[in-house]
């Protein structure tokens, strides 16, 4: 198992380097990093020339990439070209807020999706199965921003007309409230529901389809022939093998989930990674955008590595492939 994990880890290094080079090259060639500074009257040509030399903007893109990668690794994300402030403290602050949002929504979506998928497969074509099939189709069709806006409008009207405050529709928490408090829970409830519904629809359908693929397989029929109860057949033999496709979906969904977090955090005005990305993009802070994209690619690659390790745990045959 250790050899399998090391091999997968080594495979991830060239992928990460290729992703970082594409991120830096495409963003650097898309526009002039000094363009926002030229529009400010308090920046003299001497200051602009100094910034060009300091950030190696007078060198070719491959050389600049090496300097940027070195700065990112050794100096925790490097510095913003516009503010000359370190990038990492801001990303570290918003990353905790987004992690709190995404981990909560994903845990709920995974647990509920697995339970609904297993029960729908066992009770195929039942009223429960048809009801959650309809829910899944609605979840697939519903854009993230539309669901977020509907929840926001609904609870705003509830407060305005009935003066009932159940959940807040913007912000992370009230002044003086901590990150793990009832007030934070009231602020994050609607964003969590928004992301959870989208993922729940995906996970429940994949789990149902995966269960139906293996529930009548040869080893499941053999287990029934030996006298095992249907519940033991499902949980001991079918469930573990049915999880393998779902692990793939969950790992690949991380990138889409970060994209959904951008929309959700913007609608609900949450000070998270998505909100930070939009803010830096609007200010044309290209180095901050590069740092955000590179960190996002690291997260996606790490989750794919975790998925590979889980494959080896769920099916030992994969370790020797």
- Walk me through the domains of the chain, giving residue ranges and CATH numbers: 89-282 (1.10.3720.10)
Tokens 């929309």 map to which residue?
Answer: 263
Q: How far apart, in whole angstroms, are the C-alpha atoms of residue 268 and residue 310?
A: 34
Per the CB < 8 A criterion, the answer to whether 67 and 53 are in contact is no
Look at residues 240, 185, 198 and name the one whose alpha carbon lies nearest to residue 113: 198
CA 239 to chain centre: 25
> Stretch 98-113: mean pLDDT, rounded?
91
Of the ranges 216-225, 243-252, 274-283, the best mean pLDDT one: 274-283
* Tokens representing residue 40 in the block: 């400010």
Q: How far apart, in whole angstroms, are the C-alpha atoms of residue 63 and residue 65?
A: 5
Tokens 């494959």 map to which residue?
Answer: 311
With a cut of 90, say whether residue 112 has pLDDT above it: yes
Q: How far apart, in whole angstroms, are the C-alpha atoms of residue 198 and residue 202?
A: 7
Mean pLDDT over each residue of the chain, to the nearest integer: 83
Per the CB < 8 A criterion, the answer to whether 231 and 298 are in contact is no
* Tokens representing residue 282 in the block: 């609007």
pTM of this prediction? 0.82
Q: How far apart, in whole angstroms, are the C-alpha atoms of residue 119 and residue 211?
A: 10
> Stretch 76-97: mean pLDDT, rounded?
84
Angle in degrees, CA 73, 12, 200, rounded to 5: 105
CB atoms closer than 10 angstroms to residue 37: 17
**Model confidence at 75, in pLDDT bands (50, 70, 90)?**
confident
pLDDT at position 3 is 77
pLDDT at position 317 is 61
Strand partners, 86: 79
Q: How far apart, in whole angstroms, are the C-alpha atoms of residue 294 and residue 299?
A: 9
pLDDT at position 77 is 78
Report the length, in residues, of the chain. Answer: 321
Percent with pLDDT over 70 in the chain: 93
């Amino acid at each position: 198992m250790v050899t399998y994990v090391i091999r997968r880890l080594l495979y991830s290094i060239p992928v990460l380097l290729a992703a970082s080079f594409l991120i830096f090259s495409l963003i650097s060639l898309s526009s002039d990093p000094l363009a926002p500074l030229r529009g400010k009257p308090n920046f003299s040509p001497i200051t602009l020339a100094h910034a060009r030399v300091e950030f190696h903007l007078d060198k070719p893109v491959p050389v600049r990439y090496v300097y940027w990668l070195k700065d990112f690794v050794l100096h925790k994300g490097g510095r913003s070209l516009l503010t000359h402030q370190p990038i990492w403290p801001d990303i570290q602050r918003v990353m905790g807020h987004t992690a709190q949002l995404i981990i909560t929504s994903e845990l709920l979506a995974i647990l509920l999706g697995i339970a609904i998928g297993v029960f729908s497969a066992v009770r195929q074509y039942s009223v429960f199965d048809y009801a959650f099939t309809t829910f899944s189709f609605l979840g697939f069709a519903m854009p993230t921003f539309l669901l977020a806006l509907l929840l926001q409008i609904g609870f705003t009207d509830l407060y305005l007309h009935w003066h009932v405050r159940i959940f807040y529709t913007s912000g992370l928490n009230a002044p003086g409230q901590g990150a793990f408090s009832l007030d934070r829970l009231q602020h994050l409830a609607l964003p969590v529901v928004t992301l959870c519904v989208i993922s729940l629809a995906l996970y429940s359908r994949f789990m149902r389809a995966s269960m139906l693929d293996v529930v009548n397989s040869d080893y499941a029929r053999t287990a029934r022939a030996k006298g095992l109860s249907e519940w033991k057949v499902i949980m001991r033999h079918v469930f573990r093998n049915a999880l393998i496709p779902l692990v793939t979906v969950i790992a690949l969904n991380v990138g889409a989930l970060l994209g959904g977090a951008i929309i959700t955090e913007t609608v609900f005005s949450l000070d998270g990674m998505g909100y930070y990305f939009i803010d830096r993009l609007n200010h044309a802070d290209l180095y901050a955008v590069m740092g955000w994209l590179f960190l996002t690619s690291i997260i996606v690659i790490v989750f794919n590595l975790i998925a590979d390790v889980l494959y080896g745990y769920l099916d030992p045959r994969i370790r020797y492939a």
